[in-house]
Amino acid sequence: MKEYDFIAIGGGSGGFNAARVARGFSDNVAVIDGARQLGGLCILRGCMPSKTLIYSAEVLHLAQNARAFGLNIPSAKVDMPALHQRKLEIIKEFTDYRVESMTSGKYDLYRNQARFIGPNTIELDDGVQLRGKKFILATGSKIAKPPIPGLDDDGIWTSDDVLELDFLPESVIVLGGGVVACELAQFLNRVGSQVTQIQRSPHILKDQAPDVSEVVETAFRDEGVSLFTDTQLERIEKTDTGYSVTFKLQGESKTVFAQHLVNALGRYPATRGLGLDAAGVDLKPNGQIATNEHQQTSNPDIYAAGDCAGPYEIVHTAVLQGEYAARHAFGKPGPGPLNYDHMLDVVFTDPQVARVGLTEKALKERDIDFIAADYPFDDHGKSILMEAKYGFVRVFAEKPSGRILGAEIVSKDGGELIHALAVAVSNNLTAADLLKTHWYHPTLAEIISYPLEDIVDEL
């Protein structure tokens, strides 16, 4: 039985980066990844392919609306085979780099599934047993299938299927209103599919502030998405021409039809079959692996990071968690533990939704005295000339110090703009501190200075 100083189970963003950092402290590191293809969810079936397609759809959308910019572009349409091929070529660059890193000889790579048979021992699916001084679990998540009649039909698409499309579907129903559902619904609509989106909660992007979600809902409906919210899904049926979905809307039963159906109703932690009981690893009520601030599980020799652990299923968070876990496992200094009060997240719809730090809800729950100020993009020079008038920027500051505690931006390129405020949140800067900065005119970013000025004036 071979023993390692550090074993990463899962070679995605969390596991690979943990192994990479661990390799700096030991030459006795193993990575176990039994996936059909190396690379991890982000590279293969998540961030990179989806954002590649979304950006192409944005270019198409601008071309199709050229007259708003005083341009005459007679025709613009998608070439799905070419779009698919471009995505494959781009993803191959990322995948090749990751595979090259994992197979470089720095790590012992096992292309197997693993399960614990003891607190520090795992067995691979080929019968090989390995012992580790320290482990990290970074097994990610899988697509969920809620108990809705008809949802188990084999022909129903998932996000994986949408990202592999090389043809244009005539019509699609998207079930769900989370990040994945919204990004894919808008993508499909922009490339030319007739899209119906059905969300169970009162708003899409239910974790965002209601007025943030409402901006995206307005944009979707303006672009032609048939969006239904506050529904109760009843059943799904296969038809001669595709699928029907029946749901309750304002107390009445409604049925919609489409050629294809996408299940985007969420994901669940991929922890089944890991033998966590044998390892003494506890789960949270939601199925994620329970960890302390150091990413340690209830077995202190086993760490966890990424989607399987939470509390946020975001790639950069998984990377930071994995890196910190490896340093902690070897007793090495460095940044950490993670401060989730500085959390940053982005939704790549158009307008984008970006958020950093504490929300208004969290501030009120903690009884923090704060001031909020916002400013709309439809009254801002650069966004007006860009025909990017949806949304607003909102900043939360502590009273009486003016320290920036959080911010929300829903706008064109909001994911880029939010980083100015992320720097402020992470470094305890005040609104007055940020106003010392030169905010260049005309830029989208200068709009951030307007609520900052209101905060300083009021304080």
pLDDT digits (tens, 9 = 90+) for 217-272: 999 999 999 999 999 999 999 999 999 999 999 999 999 999 999 999 999 999 99
pLDDT of amino acid 404: 98
20, 108, 116, 407, 421 from 11: Cα distances, Å: 10, 12, 17, 33, 32
Q: What pTM did the predictor assign?
A: 0.95
pLDDT of amino acid 204: 98
- pLDDT single digits (tens) 148-162: 999 999 999 999 999
Give residues with Cβ within 8 angstroms of 183, minimum separation 6: 50, 54, 347, 348, 349
pLDDT of amino acid 116: 98
Residues of the chain with pLDDT under 70: none
Indicate the helix (H) or strand (E) that contains 187. Answer: helix 179-191
Give residues with Cβ within 8 angstroms of 433, minimum separation 6: 424
- pLDDT single digits (tens) 321-371: 999 999 999 999 999 899 999 999 999 999 999 999 999 999 999 999 999
Q: Which domains are present in the chain?
A: 2-143+268-329 (3.50.50.60), 159-265 (3.50.50.60), 340-458 (3.30.390.30)
Identity of the residue numbered 203: H
- DSSP string for 325-390: HHHHHTT---S-S--GGG-EEEE-SSSEEEEEE--HHHHHHTT--EEEEEEEGGG-HHHHHTT---
pLDDT of amino acid 383: 97
